Amino acid sequence: MTEIVKTIEKIAIEIYEAIKTKDTGKVNSQNKSGDVQVKLDVISDEIVEKYLLKVSSVKEIMSEEKEKPVLKSGGKYLVAYDPLDGSSLIDVDLSVGSIFGIYEGGYSGSEIKAAVYVVYGPRVEMVVARDVVELFRLNEKTNEFEFIKELKLKNKGKVLAPGGTQAKWFDFHKKMIDSLFKEGYRLRYSGGMVPDLHQILLKEGGLFSYPATIDKKEGKLRKLFEVFPFAYVYKKAGGGAIDGYKDLLSLDCKDYHETTPCFFGSEYEIKKVLETYKDKKL
Ligand code: AHG
Ligand code: MN
Ligand code: MN
């Protein structure tokens, strides 16, 4: 596992370099989820593949940008990753990220063994969740990631990151978000799940939601590359991660690119979501 985390550090440094220097334009293709790819999605995917396939403990890799996994010989870990999350924000110079889920045995919520994400913002930070959740920051003078602190969520936060197209929200979801704002929560939403979830984690609480909507009952965010890794991070930090009804890490995954509605937050807000959703049929 340490070998994988060390390799992600090298990957992060190389992707950050690409973000700073390469063209921000689109390519003429879509990935399996139907998203228009930008050149940096493809470049980042190639960087991750190049490094991870050299790691002896890795058995196979699977990416948001790939149709099926790439296998190698030896190793026991399956690494599923989103090489560049929030890539549509690149051209407006907002923060983006990379997300890695490290699985053993298969790709499901119960088989995730560790999660790592990197935020490329004004500074580059990496969060590693194993038994505990730890924050590291890139020192650009030495090119080393330095340990900053352990991260823990408090029982309740002050900010909300409510995703999804509001015109398509279910009424009960809208009422829940409105009532939280009425309690005094403030809006903090960039449209990149890495910086949005990073903010809530660093501010020690709040709620990020990407719900089921009238037109998309299965939500938008992908289980293997986005949802399970962040569910692992939030649960290890003492918070919760649910699909509205159940723990996200109790879900299986039938298709590599399967999506699910998702809520990540501290205990108080997650309880509110459970109370709101418990008798609602989508
Ligand atoms: P990606 O760039 O990897 O396709 O993912 C973007 C995700 C996530 O970062 C964000 O929370 C969500 O898409 C926003 O989606 P909408 O802009 O469609 O609401
Ligand atoms: Mn993504
Ligand atoms: Mn992506």
Helix axis angle for 267-277 and 171-183, nearest 10°, is 150
Residue 205 contacts residue 183 (beta carbons within 8 Å): no
- 96, 130, 150 - which closes a domain: 150
Give the torsion through C-alpha atoms of 15, 255, 222, 116, to 10 deg: -50
- 150, 171, 200 - which closes a domain: 150
Mean model confidence pLDDT for the chain: 96
Q: Quick one: pLDDT at residue 29?
A: 78
Tell me the best of 220, 222, 230 to mutate to test the pocket of ligand 1, counting ligand atoms within 8 Å of each CB and taking the most.
220
Site of tokens 């549509």: 88
Evaluate: CB of 195 within 6 angstroms of ligand 1. no
Rounded-to-integer distance, Cα 175 and Cα 136, Å: 37
Q: Quick one: pLDDT at residue 38?
A: 85
First to last CA, the chain: 39
Do 231 and 188 fall into the same domain?
yes
Do 172 and 105 fall into the same domain?
no
Taking the alpha carbons of 119, 125, 127, 132 in that order, is the dihedral positive or negative?
negative
Ligand 1 atom 14 nearest Cα: 191
In-domain check, residue 167: yes
Do 62 and 99 fall into the same domain?
yes
CB-count exposure of residue 231 (10 Å: 0-12, 13-18, 19+)? buried
Rounded-to-integer distance, Cα 161 and Cα 210, Å: 9
Do 74 and 209 fall into the same domain?
no
What average pLDDT does range 35-61 have in this prediction?
A: 95
Do 11 and 128 fall into the same domain?
yes
In-domain check, residue 116: yes
Which domain does 182 fall in, by range? 159-277
Do 100 and 230 fall into the same domain?
no
Evaluate: CB of 198 within 6 angstroms of ligand 1. no
Q: Quick one: pLDDT at residue 36?
A: 80
Ligand 1 atom 17 nearest Cα: 191
In-domain check, residue 282: no
In-domain check, residue 39: yes
User: Taking the complete model, does pTM exceed 0.85, yes or no?
Assistant: yes
What average pLDDT does range 6-18 have in this prediction?
A: 98
In-domain check, residue 230: yes
Atom of ligand 1 nearest to the CA of 192: 9
What average pLDDT does range 175-203 have in this prediction?
A: 98
In-domain check, residue 87: yes
| Helices (H), ranges, 22-121 | 39-52
Cα 119 to chain center, whole Å? 10
Q: Quick one: pLDDT at residue 23?
A: 80
Do 131 and 12 fall into the same domain?
yes
Token pair in block for residue 85: 């999350």
Atom of ligand 1 nearest to the CA of 31: 4
Do 112 and 129 fall into the same domain?
yes
Is residue 26 scored above 90 in pLDDT? no
Phi, psi for 182 (deg, rounded to 5): -65, -30
The β-bridge partners of 115 are 101, 129
Query: Pairing state of beta strands 58-63 and 77-85?
Result: parallel
Helix axis angle for 39-52 and 2-21, nearest 10°, is 150
- 92, 122, 150 - which closes a domain: 150
* Single-letter code of the amino acid located at 17: E
Is residue 79 left, alpha or beta, with left meaning phi > 0 and alpha meaning psi from -120 to 50? beta
In-domain check, residue 190: yes
Ligand 1 atom 2 nearest Cα: 86
Is residue 28 scored above 80 in pLDDT? no
Token pair in block for residue 99: 């997300």
Evaluate: CB of 25 within 6 angstroms of ligand 1. no
Phi, psi for 274 (deg, rounded to 5): -60, -45
Do 231 and 146 fall into the same domain?
no
Atom of ligand 1 nearest to the CA of 88: 2
What total number of domains does the chain contain? 2
Q: What is the CATH number of the domain that holds 48?
A: 3.30.540.10
Evaluate: CB of 193 within 6 angstroms of ligand 1. yes
Is residue 248 scored above 90 in pLDDT? yes
Coil, helix or strand at residue 248? helix
Is residue 172 left, alpha or beta, with left meaning phi > 0 and alpha meaning psi from -120 to 50? alpha
Point out the residues that are catalytic: 35, 41, 64-65, 82, 84-85, 226
Do 134 and 214 fall into the same domain?
no
Q: Measuring CA to CA, which residue among 239, 269, 247, 261 is closest to residue 159?
A: 269
Do 143 and 196 fall into the same domain?
no
Do 135 and 9 fall into the same domain?
yes
Site of tokens 């058995």: 59
Q: What is the CATH number of the domain that holds 238?
A: 3.40.190.80
